[in-house]
Amino acid sequence: MKPGLPLLKLFPAPQTASGKAWLVTFTDLVCLLLTFFVMLYSMSEPDAARYQRALGVVPGQGSGGTGAPPPKAVFTAESLNREKAADLGYLRRVFENLLPGNPALADLRMERRPEGLALSLPADLLFAPGEAQLSENGRAALFVMAGVADNLGNALDVAGHADATPAGSHWPSNWELSLARAQAVAAALHQAGYLRPITMRGHGDGRAGEVAATPEGNALARRVELVIRDHGGSR
């Protein structure tokens, strides 16, 4: 050893490990755990039924199947015309605004039903007792109603009703009388400008029990109803 040479240069201090050396051990541990779980999964038996149910949600996947077909739009005459019809709530307000200025509609009764808006006119306003020929007041009322219904485009049904009183010698039964009155009203609506097809029904006295068996109730039972549907009517 040369005289005066420091001892530190002859015996250098040992190098200390880096502060990030623990990451190597941690990475090895994570890799071992991952390998362990992959081996466990590879040795397990999958649930085939559950697998098929999961694939059934996706059309065209799975064991050669086509899956559930996508929904298709179905177009019918009613669905195509539905957009052309007026809302029944709006239609009711239109008729309510017509009542004050039209004496012929003074006895009009309106009722919202599942099948549409029912406009009920007493048969005593439209016809003479036991007859199916429209009066002048009846034609005036139907003229106003036909103009509104045709401008709005809704489909229309006409139903005749009678009370339990026998129809008389002109008609075999109240059913024939109620149907003839429905046909007369439908013809008047066509003449007044409603150009769409009208469904006609005769109920006879089959619904007379809905009102009381009194003179006032019988007057309500004798009626013709115009049922305005919530969908459009084809021309």
What is the per-residue pLDDT across 29-73, written as a single tens digit (0 to 9) for each?
Answer: 888 888 877 777 777 666 666 656 665 655 554 455 555 555 554
Report, as an integer, the average pLDDT of 104-123: 88
Query: What's this model's pTM, rounded to 2 decimal places?
Result: 0.60
pLDDT of residue 80: 44
Q: How far apart are CA 226 and CA 146, in angstroms?
A: 10
Is the confidence at residue 115, as pLDDT, over 60?
yes
Report, as an integer, the average pLDDT of 97-107: 82
Is the confidence at residue 154, as pLDDT, over 90?
no
pLDDT class of 183 with cuts at 50, 70, 90:
very high
Q: Which residues pair with 223 in a beta bridge?
A: 122, 161
Residue 199: what are its φ and ψ, rounded to 5°?
-85, 125
226 versus 79: the higher-pLDDT residue is: 226
Q: Which long-range contacts (CB under 8 A, 24 or more apart) does 143-147 make?
A: 143/188, 143/192, 144/98, 144/102, 144/104, 144/105, 145/95, 145/105, 145/119, 145/189, 145/226, 146/188, 146/189, 146/190, 146/192, 146/193, 146/194, 147/192, 147/193
Q: Which residues pair with 156 in a beta bridge?
A: 198, 228
- Class of the 81-232 domain? alpha beta
pLDDT class of 189 with cuts at 50, 70, 90:
very high
The number of residues making up the chain comes to 235
Burial of 55 (0-12, 13-18, 19+ CB in 10 A): middle
Is the confidence at residue 1, as pLDDT, over 70?
no
